[in-house]
Chains A and B, each alone.
Chain A
Amino acid sequence: MKTNKILNTSNDLRWQIGEGFHDKLTEGIYSDAATIAQNSVHKKGDAKRFRFDRSLDKIVTSKIWGFPIMILILSVVLWLTIIGANYPSGLLADLLIGEIYPWLKGIGESLGFSWWLSGFLFDGVYLALAWVIAVMLPPMAIFFPLFTLLEDFGYLPRVAFNLDHLLKKSGAHGKQALTMSMGFGCNAAGVIATRIIDSPRERLIAIITNNFSLCNGRWPTQILIASIFIGALVPENFAGAVSTLAVIAIALLGIFFTFIVSLFLSKTMLKGEVSSFTLELPPYRPPRFWKTIYTSLIDRTLIVLWRACIFAAPAGAVIWLISNVSIGDSNIANWMILHMDGFGLLLGLNGVILLAYIVAIPANEIVIPTILMLTVMSAAITGVGEGNGVMFELESVPATGDILKAGGWTLLTAINLMLFSLLHNPCSTTIYTIYKETKSVKWTTIASILPIILGFTVCFIVTQVWRILA
């Protein structure tokens, strides 16, 4: 074989040259580059970097200002997202659920759809879609453009630079600070963002732990439950502040778990993966505002939303089906709730919550509507809700609390739900994204199962200790 001859020659030559081929070659290329550049480049001044860049860098990476600036910016972005999304979310919900939903039901009726067809299509599939869009779109449409503006300006590499030393302690990469922040918006987007991490080990760590960043889909759940159960513990004047603190505590707990799990992974499963850190600090460039907003909507928001919709539609169908298809004398949902209740109570949760997390795997946004519907159904509460398999949410927070309390919820259930909402498997969009990014069943499985094991463990311990103390 001629080709073998080439390879044999190459092996012989490699042996003769010995080590350092790559070094010599790179040196050669760079010295060629220097010669060529010398011929054609004329520098009039000796400015190597823009003076503005340097002064700005001195501030944003300084010992005193580096961290406060970062925290301030992240808080502002999150605040704008959570507060700013309320209004458009309400509008969308009014439109999709308040207007279009009854209109669709009307059309179904006029076309003579049987109750199960109209239930399956509109109460199941459509409602799940409508919910995901109404709750997911506005925060993402605010969060991503803000984040992209910072990215385009060039600030984000500086954040990675500032935080690398902290993250390194748990075996992670400085750039993980950014994928984590992105995870506060959406874990699927956070996982995609790990592409910026060029070191294989640190990238896997960032992917697997991204779920511990409390995403947009979970903030509203946390806020709702905290204001019903934790805010109620203190006088009304402090209720808002205390429940906010509780939510922040959960988010911080998530960061804590990110560190612990990163450390665990880098010491065990990821020990042999190659690890390196290099980071270019590019010049600052003024972002083009409108273009950025437009492209980040197209690039990130719509892609993620589209994926979520694909998963939400069948989930809506499943939710409707299990609530309406019967085995024996109860429907599937009730049957499952009954059988999971024991395990749920062991963890300080209940069968409804566990079932809701199973069927609402496509999007954390539909967990609360599903829990409400299932609670009303299984506890046979009359006067609220839209019927079996029809997700709903109430305008009034106290009314929501009443339903949950009627379903047997206590302060302990609420705390555990908040913990479990932080520590459970990623939503199916994220799982799918993890698979696309890692192309590995093994890592996808680990990323999905690890948080749920943690969730079970933490809830179990909290519950049992609580019971001892109570």
Chain B
Amino acid sequence: MQKPTNSACEGCDLNQASNLKKLGINIDNNDYVVALAGNPNTGKSTVFNALTGLKQHTGNWPGKTVTRAEGGYNFNNNKYKIVDLPGTYSLLSTSQDEEVARNFILFGKPDVTIIVVDASRLERNLNLVLQILEITNKAVLCLNLMDEATRLDIEIDDRTLARDLGIPVVPTSARSKEGIPELLKTVHQVATGEIICKPHRIKNVPKNINNAIEKLRLEIEATYPNVPNSRWIALRLLDGDERIIEAVKTGEFITE
């Protein structure tokens, strides 16, 4: 995978980031749709505000955004629409929040998904990250709250993390807008295909379960050859997720 390089061009790219034109809600004719996912209390809405300039309220409280908030911005002459998903710990249960988030990533097929994580509690946040990486290939990890991590004496090697996860990692402190220009640039590169992600897939699964997943995955691929996340669908079928069973019947997740 490629990382945003520190070439001479970076200056001009960042310059363009400063040209960032902030748009309000309700923008049509978007070139790209970006989803914003993450655990509660990771400063997700602050990132959203930093990207759009929209004054969405950011509560220090789990599960604030129940319905999706939408906004938009311009970058490199492309219009981006950005959707703030409810903060969730996981996508495996069936709570209302999780369904909203899950359905958007699966059925809404965003061009890029930004996953916001709390740098000071990375391990816990990776639970959601790994699940999202089963669903989508195009994602950027936003390593937020770097300031808090530093205060806790935590150092994160973002290069190693990017290699292990197979997606670009951008450290940010959204409250002070640090790292936001880099985030915009990376999202753009993933959206345009300049960076190709090779996301990590969940490995530590017991053998009998893995065999079952593989068997089912092959069958799904035989019926729907173009499904990018067949393995994840297999996972959900084995967990008895009724929404996904319904989707398999109608084939709605493959409609391009």
Q: Do A and B come from one complex?
A: yes
Contact mask for chain B residues 66-89; partner A; CB cutoff 8 A; 1 contact, 0 none: 100000000000000000000000
Contact among B122, B131, B152 with A37 in the assembled complex (CB-CB below 8 Å): B122
Q: List, sorted by A's number, 24 A–B pairs whose CB atoms are closer than 8 Å.
A: A6-B237, A13-B215, A13-B238, A17-B209, A24-B205, A25-B202, A28-B206, A35-B204, A36-B165, A39-B160, A39-B161, A41-B154, A43-B152, A45-B153, A148-B57, A152-B59, A153-B60, A198-B97, A279-B62, A280-B41, A280-B62, A282-B40, A284-B60, A299-B56
Contact residues of A: prevailing secondary structure: helix
CB distance from B62 to the nearest CB of A (A): 5
Our pick among A35, A282, A294 for the contact of B60 (Cβ within 8 Å) is A282
**A27: B residues at CB distance < 8 A:** 204
Does A330 touch B at the CB level, under 8 Å? no
* Contact, CB under 8 Å: B56 / A41: no
| A195 / chain B contacts, CB cutoff of 8 Å | 63-64, 66
A13 vs B62: C-alpha distance when bound (angstroms)? 36
Q: List B contacts of A25 (CB < 8 A).
A: 92, 202, 205, 209, 235, 239
Decide if B212 touches A26 in the complex (CB within 8 Å). no
Give every chain B residue within 8 A of A269 (Cβ-Cβ): none
Over the window 208-227 of chain B, the binary record of Cβ atoms lying under 8 Å from chain A Cβ atoms (1 yes, 0 no) is 11001001100110110000
Closest approach, in angstroms, between the C-beta of B236 and any C-beta of chain A?
9
Considering the complex of A and B, which 9 residue pairs feature the smallest CB-CB distances, nearest first? A33-B126, A37-B123, A44-B153, A40-B161, A10-B237, A282-B41, A28-B204, A45-B153, A28-B205
| Contacting pair B202 A28 (CB below 8 A) | yes
Of the candidates B59, B123, B151, B164, the one having the most CB atoms from chain A within 10 angstroms of its own CB is B59
Q: Which residue of B lies closest to A292 (CB)?
A: B57
User: Given A7-B248, A196-B61, A280-B62, is A16 in contact with B151 using a C-beta cutoff of 8 Å?
Assistant: no
Is A2 positioned at the interface, with any CB of B under 8 Å from its CB?
yes
Interface centre among B57, B92, B155, B175 (most CB of A within 10 A): B57
Asked whether, in the complex, the Cβ of A29 is within 8 Å of the Cβ of B127, the reply is yes
A86 at the A/B interface (Cβ < 8 Å)?
no
Closest chain A residue, CB of each to CB of B63? A196
- Is A57 an interface residue, CB under 8 A from the partner? no
Candidates A14, A45, A148, A283; contact of B240 at CB < 8 Å: A14
Q: Which of A3, A39, A156 has the most CB of B within 10 A?
A: A3
Selected contact of A6 from candidates B61, B200, B239, B248, CB within 8 Å: B248
Looking at the assembled complex, report how far the CB atom of B192 sits from the nearest CB atom of chain A, in whole angstroms. 27
Residues of A276-319 contacting chain B, CB below 8 A: 279-280, 282-285, 287-288, 291, 294-296, 298-300
Decide if B164 touches A36 in the complex (CB within 8 Å): yes
Q: With an 8 A cutoff between CB atoms, is B28 at the interface?
A: no
Q: Interface size class for chain A?
A: 35 or more
A467 within 8 Å of B (CB atoms): no
Check if B17 is an interface residue, CB within 8 A of chain A.
no
Answer yes or no: B245 CB below 8 A from chain A CBs: yes
Q: Given A17-B238, A29-B131, A40-B158, answer yes or no on A47-B248 (Cβ-Cβ < 8 Å).
A: no
**A5-B219, A32-B204 known; A41-B122 Cβ under 8 A:** yes
Residues of B near A300 (CB, < 8 A) are 57
Q: A6-B219, A9-B215 are in contact. Are A198 and B155 (CB under 8 A)?
A: no
| Chain B, Cβ-Cβ closest to A283 | B148
Does A87 touch B at the CB level, under 8 Å? Answer: no
Residues of A within 8 A of B (CB): 2-3, 5-7, 9-10, 13-14, 16-17, 21-22, 24-37, 39-45, 47, 50, 148, 151-154, 156-157, 195-196, 198, 279-280, 282-285, 287-288, 291, 294-296, 298-300
Is the pair A9, B62 in contact by a Cβ cutoff of 8 Å? no
Q: Which residue of B55, B148, B235 contacts A298 across the interface (Cβ within 8 Å)?
A: B55
**In whole Å, how far is A437's beta carbon from the nearest beta carbon of chain B?**
9
The answer to whether A299 and B57 touch across the interface, beta carbons within 8 angstroms, is yes
B215: chain A residues within 8 A (beta carbon): 9, 13
* B195 interfacial by beta-carbon distance below 8 Å: no
Question: Which residue on chain A has the smallest CB distance to residue B240?
Answer: A14
On chain B, the residues within 8 Å of A280 by CB distance are 40-41, 62
Question: What chain A residues lie within 8 Å of B63 (beta carbons)?
Answer: 195-196, 198
Residues of chain B lying within 8 A (CB to CB) of residue A298:
55, 57
Within the complex, the shortest CB–CB distance from A455 to chain B, in Å, comes to 31
CA distance A364 to B179 in the complex (A): 49
A46 to chain B, nearest CB (A): 9
Chain A residues, CB < 8 A from B16:
none
Select the residue from B62, B154, B200, B202 with max chain A CB neighbours within 10 A: B62
A285 to B120, CA, bound (A): 14
CB of A33 within 8 A of CB of B127, answer yes
Residues of B178-219 at the interface with A, using a CB-CB cut-off of 8 Å, are: 200, 202-206, 208-209, 212, 215-216, 219
Q: Are A3 and B212 in contact (CB under 8 A)?
A: no
Interface centre among A24, A36, A39, A299 (most CB of B within 10 A): A36
A280 to nearest B CB, angstroms? 5
Q: Report Cα–Cα, A31/B123, bound state, in Å.
A: 9
Interface flags, B87-111, vs A, CB<8A=1, else 0? 0001010010100000000000000
Q: How far is the CB of B26 from chain A (nearest CB, A)?
A: 16
> With A9-B216, A40-B161 in contact, is A196–B235 under 8 Å at CB?
no
* Shortest distance between the CB of A2 and any CB in chain B (Å): 4
A145 to B48, CA, bound (A): 21
- Shortest A96–chain B CB gap in Å is 27
CB–CB B156/A156 < 8 A: no
Bits for B109-128, please: 1 = Cβ < 8 Å to A, else 0: 00000000000001110110
- B249-A3 in contact (CB<8A): yes
Bound CA–CA A213/B95 (angstroms): 28
Q: Are A43 and B153 in contact (CB-based, < 8 A)?
A: yes
Q: Is residue B23 contacting chain A, with contact meaning CB distance below 8 A?
A: no
CA distance A291 to B56 in the complex (A): 10
> B235 contacts which chain A residues (CB < 8 A)?
25
What is the CB-to-nearest-CB distance from B226 to chain A, in angstroms, rounded to a whole number? Answer: 14
Whether, in the assembled complex, B229 has its beta carbon less than 8 Å from a beta carbon of chain A, the answer is no
Given contact pairs A17-B238, A32-B203, A32-B204, A40 touches B164 in the complex (Cβ within 8 A):
yes
> Which of B151, B160, B239 contacts A50, CB < 8 Å?
B151
Q: Are B216 and A42 neighbours in the complex by a CB distance under 8 Å? A: no
Is A47 in contact with B152, judged by CB distance below 8 angstroms? Answer: yes
Q: Is B130 an interface residue (CB 8 A)?
A: yes
